[in-house]
Amino acid sequence: MADTFLDSTELVLNMGPQHPSTHGVLRVILKLDGERVLGTECVIGYLHRGVEKIAENRTWQMFAPYVDRMDYVAAVSNGLGYCLAVEKLLGVEAPPRAQAVRVILTELNRIASHLLWLGTHALDIGAITPLFYCMREREYVLNIYEKYCGARLTTHAFRIGGLQYETYEGFEKECLEFCDLFEKKIDEYEELLTGNRIWQQRLTGVGILTAEDCKEYGVTGPMLRAAGVKWDIRKAQPYSGYEKYDFEIPVRENGDTYDRYIVRMQEMRQSVRIVRQAVADIPAGPILAKVGKVIKPPVGEAYVSIEAPKGELGYYVVSDGSTQPYRVRIRPPSFVNLQALDKMCRGALVADVVAIIGTTDIVLGEVDR
Amino acid sequence: MKQLLRKVFLADLIEGLRVTFRHQHPKQIVTEQYPQERPKIGERYRGAPRLNINPDNGETLCIACDLCALACPENLIVVGWERNPETKKKELVTFTYDISRCMFCGLCEDACPVDALELTQDFEMASYTREGAILDRQTLENGLLPTRYRF
Ligand code: SF4
Ligand code: SF4
């Protein structure tokens, strides 16, 4: 190395798997030259449970609760993707009422997921206050889930063909109340962080990922949009009736950590907008399409991808005509986004690694599956 | 110029602090004092299982159809039954439910045709032993006893 003319040697440092800012059990091997990162390597698999293999030993319905346990902070989105994939295989579509409720719950889930990201990301950088506020607002969403389906985190809210549970009394009112309250709270978070000089200095220009890099690595979600690519599956290939709702895709140009922060904040505002529209117009009617008690999709395969809070979440399901999946392949956004970590970290400072891991918004349950 | 003044007088930091102090107001405190203060649990909460009995005659509602055991992804329900020689009907003898492996997905509850098995709002299921997590028919019918803590 040219700049190691003083007597300094390269140092290999282990970060994790118990490091709190790796958001779970991610081990990153850092190669350092002083404070500079020369390269990183991720060691994953500490949370591997073989979810895809489990699918092959369960019936189609039985596997639905397991997908909640991949990205456990966005369990509802995971469930939606799986249900849509199996529905495509079966050739059925959820009734309009089910679709509207699904949209409401997944958008609330996007808010909850982004809130957790915001809280922990800010905590990693050193701003402790937002974490408490984010958790407090997330609680409202979780309470709606608890009242709707009976669980807070691993919800198992959707069933193949629609919904299992009818909305409870006061569901619409509570969602609207949350929207009203939450819009003010986003302003509050922005007051705390957006203009804060420490926050800006820690984030601007850190972990830059250009649009080309993103496409090369297959990075999706807010990270891609922060690099200036207007790509959102909700708009590009609308599912579950997203074409009916009016919302924008927030985009920024620089692709650095600060821009990703802005994009996610904007996304929460857009989610509130979608929830409002969806709540105002929940059609009446059945909530479960006719799929029968035993689900036996015809021989074939289907791929469905949805816009999960973290990026494109894809399910590739293959049926051999029996009651059990022949194969379920999952394309988790966190896993793919994590591959860009090395690219973002090279040349950065050690302290920035924490910011970069935070901004990729990974959930290790989903990375390892 | 405005920017500079903002910088010099730490306006951005003070704005943030204002938010923090606004939340110090006692009305803004949301922490639940859990053991003293019982949380409000949703009506549909999927917690500890219960095997419902007919309140009129104390007989179990379960018809020993085994559907819950078949629906469970974790295979943790074991229904023991015996055919009554007189009525030729299945009768429930034992019922075990291993909550240590249960993920409270609610599939068993959905599968039950007579609403005998139900996941209740009880969420305190800790026990000191692994065996304590395996519930038998009697516990399921009477409901879980509150854990005795060994302090
Ligand atoms: S809640 Fe789910 S895991 Fe638990 S016993 Fe019922 S079906 Fe099995
Ligand atoms: S499904 Fe209901 S009735 Fe059938 S064995 Fe289970 S608890 Fe009993």
Ligand nearest to the CA of B141: 2
Give SS3 for B123.
coil
pLDDT digits (tens, 9 = 90+) for B48-91: 888 888 888 877 888 888 888 888 888 888 888 888 778 777 77
Most A CBs within 10 Å, among B19, B27, B29, B32, to test the A interface: B19
B104 interaction partners in chain A (CB closer than 8 Å)? 151
Please give all residues whose beta carbon lies within 6 A of any atom in ligand 2, as ranges. B 62-68, 79, 111-112, 114, 116-117
Q: Domain coordinates of chain B in residue numbers?
A: 1-30, 49-142
Q: Is residue A1 part of a domain?
A: no
B110 interaction partners in chain A (CB closer than 8 Å)? 164
Helix then strand count (H, E) for chain B reads 5, 5
What's the CA gap between A112 and A182, in Å, rounded? 11
The answer to whether the CB of B44 falls within 8 A of the CB of A165 is yes
The number of distinct structural domains making up chain A is 1
Looking at residue A1, its pLDDT comes to 47
Alpha-helix runs per DSSP H in chain B: 2-8, 11-22, 67-71, 107-111, 137-142
B13 interaction partners in chain A (CB closer than 8 Å)? 196-197
How would CATH label the architecture of B49-142? 2-Layer Sandwich (3.30)
What's the CA gap between B9 and B6, in Å, rounded? 5
Of A99, A93, A133, A95, whose CA–CA distance to A116 is shortest? A133
**What chain A residue is nearest to B73 in terms of C-alpha separation?**
A62
Question: What domain range includes position A200?
Answer: 6-368
ipTM reported for the complex surpasses 0.90: no
Decide if A66 and B104 are in contact by the 8 Å CB cutoff. Answer: no
pTM score > 0.90 for this model? no
What's the CA gap between B123 and A262, in Å, rounded? 39
Mean pLDDT of successive 10-residue segments in chain A (369 residues)? Answer: 59 80 81 84 86 88 88 88 89 87 90 90 84 87 88 86 84 88 84 78 84 87 87 86 86 86 89 89 84 83 89 89 88 88 85 86 84
Of A263, A272, A194, A186, whose CA–CA distance to A231 is shortest? A263
Ligand nearest to the CA of B111: 2
Question: Bridge-partner residues for A67, per DSSP?
Answer: none
Q: Is the CB of B108 under 6 A from ligand 1?
A: yes
Most B CBs within 10 Å, among A142, A191, A288, A294, to test the B interface: A191
pLDDT digits (tens, 9 = 90+) for B105-149: 888 888 888 888 888 888 888 878 888 788 888 888 877 776 666
**What chain B residue is nearest to A54 in terms of C-alpha separation?**
B73
To test the ligand 2 pocket, which listed residue (B59, B66, B67, B136) has its Cβ within 8 A of the most ligand atoms?
A: B67
Q: Is residue A249 part of a domain?
A: yes
CATH number at residue A128: 1.10.645.10
Instruction: Give the pairing of strands B117-119 and B49-51.
Output: antiparallel
B107 interaction partners in chain A (CB closer than 8 Å)? 61-62, 65, 156
Looking at residue A3, its pLDDT comes to 52
